[in-house]
Amino acid sequence: MNKPKYNKIIEDLKIQIKQKKYLPGDKLPSENMLSREYEISRQTVRKALTVLENEGYIYAVHGKGTFVSELVRHTKNSKNIAVITTYLSDYIFPRVIQGIDKIFSENGYSIVLKTTKNSQAAEARCIEELLSKDIDGLIIEPSKSHIYCKHLSLFEQMDEYSIPYLFIQGYFEELSDRPGVFVDDEKGGYLITNYLISRGCKDIYGVFKVDDVQGINRHKGYVRALQEHGILYNPDKVIWFHTEDREVKPREVIGSLVKKGIKMDAVVCYNDQVAVEVVRSFQAHGVRVPDDVSVTGFDNSLISKNNLIPITTVSHPQELLGQRAAELMLRLIRGEKIENDSNHIIMEPKIVIRKSTR
């Protein structure tokens, strides 16, 4: 069955653009010319061009005509890989990027770094900018990964231009089938909570981040460990925070609980940064760590090692995770077939015991 001419003009122009018959900036034939060539009305031609414009292939200039968009300038041999992370210069990110760069450098690739400060709007701007450049692939740590992604169309454009991409650290639920490299956050939350229980802790509070999938999964592990030991899960013992209040809310809520005279055996924290703030809050209110209360982190960052009271934490294979992500990206660039059940590389967490737990 022949396809309608409306669809045919869209498909034909896409092929001609991808095959570089029309280069970025080139003017397309006029609506009249396309109307005569395809034997369809100008209104139908205009409708087809609108679809192409919405998909980013072309743009219209009033009074001048329709032109091929810069967004399709992709030759697939630039040897540039884009890397987008939520943050860049602190915490675990330098080690992750170091691992990525090591593998790409060995294989003749360079990386283009972008950061979003965990803002989806900033992430969308980064991807839009990268789509106008010549990149061979994208490694991305998604911003606020537990929140609905409003810019899925940009990932669809990546597919349209055959630019492979993969996720690290977290993923958007809508794109959970896409390749990625992750730490088993649920298992990490389970292991650290289970360890506290094995040390005699029963009244265990949790501090978790609500807007990314890592926080949700670490909370799941915390709940599972409590349930396996017959400890009733109490949602009032969980402090949820967002990206915007991460530096204030955990510390202030813990301080408020201490002022109210509420006792607890331990606090499982979303990450090491939060754990350090929780320890400081306890100390400021005369509560001794670990004598009065145990505190744990997650990520095994430098701050967990160098804190005045070194933090018991969960390991994060920072540099190795970056290396695995780069190796997976190279496979995608080479067009290697990756089965659905092996396109997620899961890194195993382990407990690192230090002095913040008794």
Give the pLDDT of residue 24.
83
Tell me the residue range of the domain where 272 lies: 185-316
What are the φ and ψ backbone dihedral angles of 111, each rounded to 5 degrees? -110, 145
Residues 239 and 206 in one domain: yes
Phi-psi region of 226 (alpha: psi -120 to 50; beta: other; left: phi over 0): alpha
- Below-70 pLDDT ranges, the chain: 1-3, 71-76, 340-341
Which of 72, 98, 119 is the endpoint of a domain? 72
Closest CA to 350 of 317, 321, 310: 317
Give the pLDDT of residue 1.
47
Closest CA to 321 of 340, 339, 348: 348
Give the tens place of pLDDT for each residue, 309-334.
Answer: 999 999 999 999 999 999 999 999 99
What DSSP assignment string belongs to 164-197? Answer: -EEEES---GGGTTS-EEEE-HHHHHHHHHHHHH
The tally of domains found in the chain comes to 3
Give the pLDDT of residue 74.
55
Is residue 88 within 8 A of residue 307, CB to CB? The reply is no
Residues 310 and 198 in one domain: yes
Give the pLDDT of residue 71.
62
Residues 214 and 255 in one domain: yes
Residues 308 and 324 in one domain: no
Q: Give a yes or no: residue 282 inside a domain.
A: yes
What are the respective helix, strand and coil percentages of the chain, to the nearest 5? 45, 15, 40
* Cα three-residue angle 180-139-86, rounded to 5 degrees: 100
Residues forming a β-bridge with 346:
182
Give the Cα separation of 115 and 44 in Å (integer). Answer: 42
CA terminus-to-terminus distance, the chain: 74
Q: Give a yes or no: residue 356 inside a domain.
A: no
Q: What is the pTM of this model?
A: 0.79
Which of 49, 72, 95 is the endpoint of a domain? 72
Residues 303 and 189 in one domain: yes
- Looking at residue 150, its amino acid is K
Residues 96 and 216 in one domain: no
Residue with tokens 């430098």: 302
Which of 35, 50, 72 is the endpoint of a domain? 72
User: What are the C-alpha distances in Å from 31 to residues 8, 9, 27, 55, 65?
Assistant: 15, 11, 12, 18, 9
Q: Give a yes or no: residue 358 inside a domain.
A: no
Segment (H or E) for 325: helix 318-333
Q: Give a yes or no: residue 352 inside a domain.
A: no
